Each structure stands twice: as structure tokens, then as C-alpha cells.
A and B are shown apart, each in its own frame.
Chain A
């Protein structure tokens, strides 16, 4: 793999405009990737700069450590963020995620980065108030680096190879840290078999967060009823695609549920059973409409029974739960694209 081409600017070139002119940006100005800045970024890893981490679809072009570092510079990352981005690239190119399909789909899903473990604190990441929003450099730039990699290296170009009908703002940046300190349950990476002290990245291809506003419920049943109802709406990708979904609990909601003795598994089982819609309604839209026999539903769903309740996902384990956010009582539901999330340790 050759090293990245060096572009020598003329004395009248503006470096920021140059990046725009080359199509290297997400529409916002980027930090021009000079030799010095990239060299400094590469101090964030011991890996050689020509090491190929993955091939990024749809171009299936090689993402070397150097190329990833260049995009990290452009996103505004600090060198200490590079290991997170490297892990994110490994996770999102896991075949199970089907990044190629997701990149090119008309659906608006895009990879969400969820960070766990001590690295959150080391990098000063935000897992509290406004966790999905602006304001934190690590959240913003790690998420942005991932997106720049998808467009610059993967060549997911809006309208050409990225066929998203609408897209969503997460395609600029989409990165949160889990609020492990205020969670009554095991954090996501521990649930998936890693040690609490091992930092990790999870990539989940999903829509923008759908808010779940519940101020009043003081027990698990009532609160989870609201969550299930928010999940089971028509127009949801899952009603025909099935696949994984995510619920992000604010700490207050998680506390209410856990106070009733509910574990993550209890919540998943409840939501799996209750987040459903009858065939009678689901067949009004979706992928195949009234041709219900063609849907990718579990075999046990009786498509000829109008009252049969169609689940969002095939099994409770396909509901991923994370705790994040600050004070207040708003949680969020994130429908997926139809492929599972992938968790990898950060080296």
C-alpha cells in the first residue's frame, strides 16, 4: 500500500478551501491535514502507519493507520483519540454489520459509536447531559472522524453511492460514551464479556434517537409500557427488516426500573413481548405491504391472522440497552438497520 499522496498547495491556495474543492469535507470546514499534524496524530498509536486496518465499503479501499490518522486530523481529534477511531473502524467493518449495505441503503441508518471503559474518563468524553448533542471535543471529533472515513476512504458519496433518501444529522458525527457510573446494571461491554476495566467500542447502525418522554411513571411496568409503545410504531424499519434495536435509558429511568428489581434481561423480555403491532396494521406499509407472506418475520408469526402481533425483533437479545444522559426523564429509542451491533476492545 502506497503512502498517502502529498498535495502541494500554491501560495494562493487556502488550505481549508482546498479541502472543500477536493470533496474531502462533510460540508463543514476541516482541519487541513498537514504533515506535522498527521505525524502528531500518529503518536497516538504504536501501529505502523502503513498497517491496513480494514477495507471500507463501498469502494473497499484500504484504510491504513495513516489514512485513518489523516481523517482524524481533519475531524479535529487529539492523538489520544486515535485508538478509539481505530477500534471503531475494526468494529464497523465486521461483516456482520454489513457496512456496505448500510452505506448504500436508502434507509437513513449510520454507525453510532458507543464507548465504554476507562478511556471515557481519560479522554474527557461526555456520557451525561446532552450526550447525543454538541459540545464535547472527544464525542464530536471521534464521531466525525468515523464519518469522514466512511466518505473519504469508503467513498460513500451522497446521491452517488450513499443512496439515503433523507439521511440524518448523525452522519456528521454520532458518538456517545455510556454513563456507567450512573447505571444500575452492567455496562454494555461487560454484558458482552469484556472486563469492566477494558475499554471498548460498540458500533451500531441506526437511526437518529427517538425521544421517550416519561415524567410520571414510578414503576418498571408503567415506564416500560411507554418505552414499548414508542418502539412499536408503523414506519419502523424493524417491522419488515427485523434485526437489532437499542434503547438508551437516562439514569433516572434506569433507576426507576432497577428499583423494582428488573435486570436488563427483564427489560428486554418485556420489550420483546410488548413492542408489537398486529398484522392488520403492519400490512398497511412496510416493505411488502399486503403481501404479508413475503416478510422476513419469524416463522411462528401467523401471517394469515390479522390479530397476530408482529414483534420488532426476533428475540429479546436483539434489544441492546445502554445508560447515558444527564438529569431529567427522557430516554431514547434507536431503531437499527437490520444488522447487529459489534463490540471490540480498544487496544
Chain B
């Protein structure tokens, strides 16, 4: 007769994957700023971008067409040459 084991683990939860490696330093890196076009996100990101440039980063500003949906493929593609991305505003 086959052995049957009961699953002890969380079910219905996707397998976890780790986040990408963090940057060792910021200077010289290209940082994407993804604006989801919610109100005031652009001002917050502009201030963050200025500070990043002061730290020696190159800043690349990208805007979504709408915040109601996930980013369109060209938007994400535009960020793929960045070393890191900051996005605002979740809400």
C-alpha cells in the first residue's frame, strides 16, 4: 500500500524568490525613476533624482501611461538598462 503524507506547508502561496542584489554603491550608477503619474509623484521623484545626481548617479525618468494598470512593456523595457529603479507613488 502506498504511503500518503499530508502536506505541512502553506498552500496556495507562490514559491518565494529573493530580490535582486542591492547596489554596493550609488556613484556612477543609472537609477530609473518610474512615475506612475499619480498626483505629486513627479515632484517627489524629481527631488529624489536631484539628490541622486548630487551623489554621482545618472538618473533616467520614465512615466507610465496610466496608474490603473501594470506598466506597458515599452515602459519596463526602458528601465532595463538601469542599475536600480525607484517608483512612486503606490498611493
Contact = CB atoms under 8 A, between A and B. Distances in A.
Q: Let me know if chains A and B touch directly in the complex, using CB atoms closer than 8 Å.
A: yes
Interface of A: 2, 4-11, 13, 15, 18-19, 22-24, 32-35, 38, 56, 59, 61-62, 66-67, 70-71, 74, 148, 152-155, 157, 159-161
Interface of B: 2-13, 16-18
Nearest to A67: B8
A116 B6 CA distance: 31
12 contacts: A8-B3, A9-B4, A9-B5, A32-B3, A34-B3, A61-B12, A70-B8, A152-B8, A153-B9, A154-B10, A155-B13, A160-B18
Contacts of B13: 59, 61, 155
Given A155-B13, A159-B18, A9 B8 contact: no
B10 A155 contact: yes
Contact of B16 (A19, A35, A161): A161
Name the 6 nearest CB pairs between A and B, nearest first. Answer: A61-B10, A5-B7, A70-B8, A9-B3, A152-B9, A152-B8
Contacts of B5: 6-7, 9, 15, 18-19, 32-34
B78 to A, nearest CB: 29
A66 B9 CA distance: 11
A198 B70 CA distance: 53
Most chain A CB neighbours (cut-off 10 Å) among B6, B11, B16, B17: B6
B25 to A, nearest CB: 19
A36 B6 CA distance: 10
Given A2-B11, A5-B11, A33 B16 contact: no
A59 B10 contact: yes
